[in-house]
Amino acid sequence: MMHTNHRQYAEQAGLAFLASLQALPVFKPAPGIDLGQLRITATLLTDGGLDLGYVDLDPINLRGVADATVVRGDDLRAKHARLTGRPALRLIGGGER
């Protein structure tokens, strides 16, 4: 069973994600062009599942979110590589002088 604090954080993260998508201004294509809508749902999968909701989003905004996510992933991987690849100074020995 998921710890209560972790569950609350996961729920808040899912709801914040949906709210951020909902806050995007709707892309308005030229008259006569239908780009369609995509439904993005969020469900907490732990403890039997909890449906957090959904947002209908145009493909232009969805692609923008996807591109931003790729950039964030690249940045996090680069940061992690810098942190784990950093040389460390270690004291070897420890005998008396």
pLDDT tens digits for range 3-18: 889 999 999 999 999 9
| Average pLDDT value for residue range 24-41 | 96
Do 44 and 7 form a contact (C-beta atoms < 8 A)? yes
Q: How far apart are CA 13 and CA 57, in angstroms?
A: 18
pTM above 0.85, yes or no: no
Q: What is the pLDDT of residues 41-76, one digit of tens each?
A: 999 998 788 999 999 999 999 999 999 999 999 999
Three-class secondary structure of residue 92 per DSSP: coil
Relative to beta strand 50-57, strand 38-44 is: antiparallel
Taking the CA atoms of 38, 58, 69 and 1 in sequence, report the sign of the dihedral they define: negative
